[in-house]
């Protein structure tokens, strides 16, 4: 690899904490289907993975019509107010600003692109991001491996010269399956064990820039 890395960031649990909006919107959907709201511990596990995957687990079903009903109820609330129930983690904007000075930065999130774009714009992160890549409402890009591939093809960057930063195993898998590198962050919703296959792990946003610089200096096959 030559030149600077292309850097992709996950959104929920990495740049912003949208737990209240997600949890309340899931509760709204489950209530509409006559299902009790699970514990906060269970709801926290729903931050990051594709929503269809989370509802399949919460409802203990693989029936597409049931899952899509839950998605529709979820979006009733999320599209109205849930996406705003969000906060940018301390230090994230500063880290983004520094990295964007020398490297192209994108968002790669399992959240529907329409909502992710609203969030990035509302919270003032859009000046540092070239484009937001998110899932489509129909779910064809729910799998973050496919989403990463789509972003790389659309933007024309080499995945081996790219780096995905996120808080869940889905992020690490998406990077590795595309031949890219991954940084796991510990302020989100994944554990250190879950992120064990990342090429680096950071504990605070202030550490991101240094981790990116170190990986940028290594060949793609280095761990």
Return the active site residues.
10
Yes or no: say if 58 and 39 are a contact pair by the CB < 8 Å rule.
no
Compute CA distances 192 → 95, 144, 187, 197, whole Å.
Answer: 21, 20, 10, 10
Q: Which long-range contacts (CB under 8 A, 24 or more apart) does 178-181 make?
A: 178/145, 178/148, 178/149, 178/152, 179/220, 180/148, 180/220, 181/5, 181/215, 181/220
Where would I find the H helices in 60-140?
64-78, 92-100, 113-122
Q: Closest by alpha carbon to 119, among 98, 134, 100, 137?
A: 134
C-alpha 82/C-alpha 64 separation (Å) is 24
Contact by Cβ (8 Å): 178, 152: yes
Tokens of 19: 């737990």
């Amino acid at each position: 690899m030559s030149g600077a890395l292309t850097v992709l960031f996950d959104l929920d649990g990495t740049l912003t904490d949208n737990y209240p909006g997600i949890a309340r919107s899931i509760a709204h959907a489950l209530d509409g289907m006559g299902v009790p709201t699970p514990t906060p511990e269970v709801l926290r596990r729903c931050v990051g993975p594709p929503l269809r995957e989370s509802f399949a687990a919460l409802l203990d079903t693989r029936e597409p019509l049931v899952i899509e009903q839950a998605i529709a109820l979820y979006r009733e609330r999320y599209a109205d107010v849930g996406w705003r129930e969000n906060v940018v983690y301390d230090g994230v904007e500063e880290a983004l600003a520094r990295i964007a000075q020398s490297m192209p930065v994108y968002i790669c999130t399992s959240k529907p692109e329409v909502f992710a774009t609203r969030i990035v714009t509302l919270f003032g992160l859009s000046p540092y991001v070239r484009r937001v890549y998110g899932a489509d409402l129909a779910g064809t890009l729910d799998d973050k491996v496919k989403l990463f591939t789509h972003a790389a093809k659309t933007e024309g960057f080499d995945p081996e010269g790219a780096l995905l930063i996120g808080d869940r195993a889905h992020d690490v898998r998406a990077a590795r399956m595309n031949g890219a590198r991954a940084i796991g962050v510990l302020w989100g919703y994944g554990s250190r064990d879950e992120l064990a296959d990342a090429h680096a792990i950071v504990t605070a946003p202030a550490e991101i820039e240094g981790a990116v610089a170190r990986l940028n200096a290594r060949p793609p096959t280095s761990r």
